[in-house]
Amino acid sequence: MDQTIVDFLQKQTCATICCTNEAGRPYCFSCYYACNPEQSLLYFKSSVDSYHCGLMARNRILSGTILPDKLNKMITRGVQWNGELTDNTDPLAENAFVNYHKKFPMALVIKGQVFTIRLDDIKMTDSNLGKMKKIMWKRAQEKADSVQ
């Protein structure tokens, strides 16, 4: 994953995640997240009884956005991503609890489950310094590059 994307993801705290409801319509929710850039994962915590957790149990394909915690109206900066919710028994989810609470230790007192999203592709937009720049990343491309 491009270091610019990694730096951005690690500095921010809130994501908007979109899943689909029973009618196939988008349903979005916001949450605090932690990032594992080595494995290209996002972690978030939520109540297993929430509406969105029920939706994600039926369709694990997700998308979302991450904007800077402090917006600057003169600069367009953010990330759009696509991914899939992993099963809690998936090896990728093995350290989700620890990794999430390392970033948000105060969340230990809040009930809920930590979930893992395997990121599949990211588009980062950054108009910092007056130039619009787009950085693309794909998990499939990363795997192909490591084989060569």
CA distances from 76 to 14, 18, 37, 89, 124 (A): 17, 21, 23, 38, 10
User: How many domains in the chain?
Assistant: 1
Residue 32 has pLDDT above 70, yes or no: yes
Average of pLDDT values for 120-140?
88
Domain containing 78 equals 3-147
Model pLDDT for residues 86-129, shown as the tens digit of each residue: 999 999 999 999 999 999 999 999 999 999 999 999 999 998 75
Closest CA to 85 of 31, 6, 12, 7: 31
pTM over 0.75: yes
Residues 98/104, Cβ–Cβ less than 8 Å: no
Q: What is the CATH number of the domain that holds 23?
A: 2.30.110.10
The continuous run of DSSP H or E covering 99 comes out as helix 96-103
Q: How far does Cα 72 stand from its chain's mean position?
A: 21
**Residue 8: which pLDDT band, with cuts at 50, 70 and 90?**
very high
Note the pLDDT of residue 131.
78
